[in-house]
Structure 1
Amino acid sequence: MTAPQPRPNVAEIPPYVAGKPPVPRPGLTSYKLSSNENPYPPLPGVVEAAMTAVERVNRYPDMGNTELYDALAARLRVPTDHLALATGSVALIYQLVQAFCDPGDEVVFAWRSFEAYPIAVAAAAATAVKVPVLADGRHDLDAMADAVTERTRVVLVCTPNNPTGPAVTQAELDAFLARIPPQVLVVVDEAYVEFVRMDDPVDGLVTHARHENAVLTRTFSKAYGLAGLRVGYAVAPPSVAGALRAVSLPFGVSSVAQAAAVASLEREPALLERVAALVAERDRVVAGLADAGCPVPEPQGNFVWFELGERTLEFAAAADEVGIVVRPFAGEGARVSIGETEANDRLIELARRWR
């Protein structure tokens, strides 16, 4: 008798590989630099707001996310019907592909880019079209535009690009959008937008206002330091935002996550001070790596990328030995988060010895 079988595409879903936790080492503090987490704890008042919500976890969360939608609408100056919430921006990527792609439809994205993209595409039985990044880790937007066909339904632009680091400029994005047919959805994945410091940065909200096929996805996991609570949002035309809400998991964003996100938005000036400190530390690390003879692609997120090829796993093992856990992509390179000062110092010293 044949057992129940999942759809064939399920067997083709690549596994998501999470960043490993730090390895305990006697006499040495170990650091996790493998998941692009914010090394700072939640802001004062955020934990208190979350704990107040914890006292009500016998009740379902507000399925309408009313308070958080209102706070985001005020902060971003967009109507609430342009917003959709989910358990992190990664969930929104899954929902967008699910909502807009039939089996066999194409989704174009840079590669290497965010590891969840091919998983989301395979889960929807769509077809992934991977366009190699340039030698400096940047999106090849011309090649991505060339890859769009009559079967393309979604294009994903990760800026800053995870894991390589560089970001797209507004001029580049405008030129790219001008080449994309209006029926193709362009998703601008801005998970690390708060860390961008460059000339002509993308203004996602202006882009959204100008293009009916443009969607932004953002998260509270990175700059806001709420990775453990899983909450992200999309800014999209009402029809797209409505589709996202239609396919979302009921009660997906917990009451604790909603309360913490609202409290974090209320404390955004203090949060941005922390982000500025992380950016300054990123700049120090980049300078230190260059001085060590190990330059990296221009990072605009809270991480750096080492192009290591076949030596990637060897580098990751060496990092483990000095008490820092990095995220290796076998045969390609390693992504290393900007963490505590001591952890970053060890990374620079490792790079100095590695060359």
Structure 2
Amino acid sequence: MPASVAALRTEVLDFEPYAAGLSIEEIRERYGLESVIKLASNENPLGVAPLVQKRLKTAAGLAFRYPKPDTPRLRKAIACRMGVDQSRVVAGNGSDEIIDILIRVRAVPGRDNVLAFKPCFSMYKIQSKFLGVEFRQVPVEADFTYDLDKLAERVDENTALVFVTSPDNPSGFAPKAAELEAFARSLPPACLFVVDEAYMDFAEPEEAYSIRNLLDELDNLVILRTFSKAYGLAGMRLGYGLMHPDLADYLMRVRLPFSVNILAEEAGIAAIEDTCFYEATLQAVRSGRERLAAELTAMGCVPKPTQANFLMFTLPEACSLSAKDVFEKLLERGIIIRPLGSYGLPDSLRVSIGNEHENHAFLRGLREVLEEARA
């Protein structure tokens, strides 16, 4: 190894990259398949909104221009959609960028710590480690619910940020808003409480679970949202945070300029405007997850209750196959779901809610695999 590489920071030398889901192309090539269904990455089951596609075609000729660094038109659209002042909105290259900047501006390496449940979205841990900040975790309960009192016990004078994902990934659990509010009010004023609501659009009813209406009351509250799920823009990399205007101002100062490209900004604005597509997405997800939960249960699987656009489940108790075996056998049939070994859950699988055709194909494929295992 060259000396210049060996001299890199120790946090980098043993760094493990984010593990993304398998792509349709690699499974098609691996098994020689013509058709592959991907239900592994919690993407929008209806694809890209018609208005977004139209707007992108119109805006393509502007790709040679730099966007405005503070994305004012997009932030205004987000503010109107969320019912907050524009000064509270920070847009980013996915909500991942907002997570990264929050840790950078608040946590001091070697002194502060970041706290979250386990398992959780891996970016909290990845970015904390990369920045040299201690990352602490409190295990979720056996039924994947949150014990917020146990989380509160781990908070100390050096806890810079607490991340809570609601609804959670991979379980789909969402604590009630009143529980999150009580926890938020128990935190020291200097500790940022970051509620990652990437899947909140699918919660039913949303107002029972989201605490974004408390932004005016809690100066240390940050709400994260994304365009990757309900708005169908995972490939555009677009997300945002809602927070106190002073904190937003500092994030805007240090954020890399032009991190939200000009086409992503246009797509985000169009996605907000296309309310018909948004409502159709919610309907498809809510009806699809109800059907999948019922049919998985009928097969003897055990799906977890979920407020997200995916289902986590375990196989029938009498099944002779492991979760990894079932995952592999579904791949051979051109169906990609998510094994959860990387979350420390080797006996569990996660399936995204697809469209009617995709849901039917998944259920048929899983039924065939389980029947073959019993034969």
Give the TM-score of the pair, scaled to structure 2.
0.89
What is aligned with 1:64? 70
Q: Distance in 1 between matches of 2:300 and 2:207?
A: 29
Deviations 1:161-201 (A, max 9, x none): 01111111112102211221111100010001110015862
Q: Is the aligned partner of 1:345 residue 2:351?
A: no
What is the CA RMSD across the aligned residues, in angstroms? 2.2
Candidates 2, 5, 8, aligned match of 1:6? 8
Identity rate of aligned residues, in percent? 35
Q: Distance in 2 between matches of 1:199 and 1:65?
A: 27
Write the letter of the residue equivalent to 2:334.
Answer: G
Amino acid at match of 1:252: S
Matched, 1:323 2:334: yes
Displacement of 1:301 in angstroms is 0.9
Larger mean CA deviation between 288-297 and 265-274 belongs to: 265-274
Cα drift, residue 21 of structure 1: 1.1
AA aligned to 2:259 is: G
2:38 to 32, 42, 48: 32
Deviation at 1:128, TM superposition (A): 0.9
The whole-number CA distance in structure 1 between the counterparts of 2:46 and 2:168 is 22
172-181 vs 1-10, which deviates more? 1-10
Using the TM superposition, give the Cα deviation of residue 350 of structure 1 relative to its aligned residue in structure 2, in angstroms: 5.0
| Contact in 2 for aligned 1:159/1:167 (Cα 8 Å) | yes
Where structure 2 has 5 or more consecutive residues not aligned to the other structure, the ranges are: 316-320
For the 8 Å contact 1:138–1:161, the answer to whether it is kept is no
Structure 1: where are the runs of 5+ without partners? Answer: none
- Kept in 2: contact 1:183–1:213 (CA 8 A): yes
Q: Which deviates more, 106-115 or 25-34?
A: 25-34
Residue 235 (structure 1) aligned to one of 242, 248, 261? 242
Contact 2:70 2:252 in 1 (8 A): no
Determine the C-alpha separation between the residues in 1 that align with 2:51 and 2:364: 37
1:103 aligns with 2:118: no
Greater Cα shift, 256-265 or 175-184 = 175-184
Distance in 1 (alpha carbons) for counterparts of 2:206 and 2:103: 31
CA contact (8 A) 2:45 2:284 kept: no
Q: Aligned-pair distance for 1:12?
A: 4.1
Q: CA deviation at 1:68?
A: 0.7
The answer as to 2:19 corresponding to 1:17 is: yes
The aligned length equals: 355
For the residue of structure 2 that corresponds to 1:60, the secondary structure is coil
CA distance in 2, matches of 1:67, 1:199: 26
Q: Which stretch has the larger CA shift, 97-106 or 334-343?
A: 334-343
Is this contact kept in 2: 1:289–1:351, CA < 8 A? Answer: no
Aligned residue for 2:49, secondary structure, equals coil
Alpha-carbon distance in structure 2 between the residues aligned to 1:44 and 1:328: 32
* TM-score, L = length of structure 1: 0.93
Equivalent in 76, 80, 91 of residue 86 of structure 2: 80
Q: Deviations over 1:212-265 (max 9, x none)?
A: 110000011100001111111110001221222123121000100000111111
| Residues 16-25 or 279-288, more deviating | 16-25
Name the CA distance, whole Å, in 2 between partners of 1:348 and 1:236: 41
State the partner residue of 2:47: 41
Question: Are 2:135 and 1:128 aligned?
Answer: yes
**Distance in 1 of aligned mates of 2:103 and 2:43:** 26
One-letter identity of the residue aligned with 1:341: E
SS at match of 1:304: strand
CA shift at 1:349, angstroms? Answer: 4.1
Kept after mapping to 1: 8 A contact 2:44/2:232? yes
Q: Quote the offset at 1:59 in angstroms.
A: 1.1
Quick check: 1:292–1:351 contact (8 Å CA) kept in 2?
no
Native 8 Å contact 1:113 1:164 kept in 2: no
Query: What do the CA deviations read for 1:312-338 (whole angstroms, capped 9, x no partner)?
Result: 322321221232111223251322111
Cα 1:34–1:283 change in 2 (3 A) is same
What is the distance in 2 between the residues matched to 1:77 and 1:62?
Answer: 23
Query: 2:102 and 2:119 mapped to 1: Cα distance?
Result: 20
**1:347: how far off?**
3.3
Judging changes above 3 Å, is the alpha-carbon distance between structure 1 residues 244 and 51 closer, same or farther for their aligned structure 2 residues? same
Distance 2:4 2:32 in 1: 49
1:1-355 to 2 correspondences below 5 Å = 2-4=3-5, 5-22=7-24, 23-24=27-28, 25=31, 29-104=35-110, 105-198=112-205, 201-307=208-314, 311-330=322-341, 332=345, 333-352=348-367, 353=370
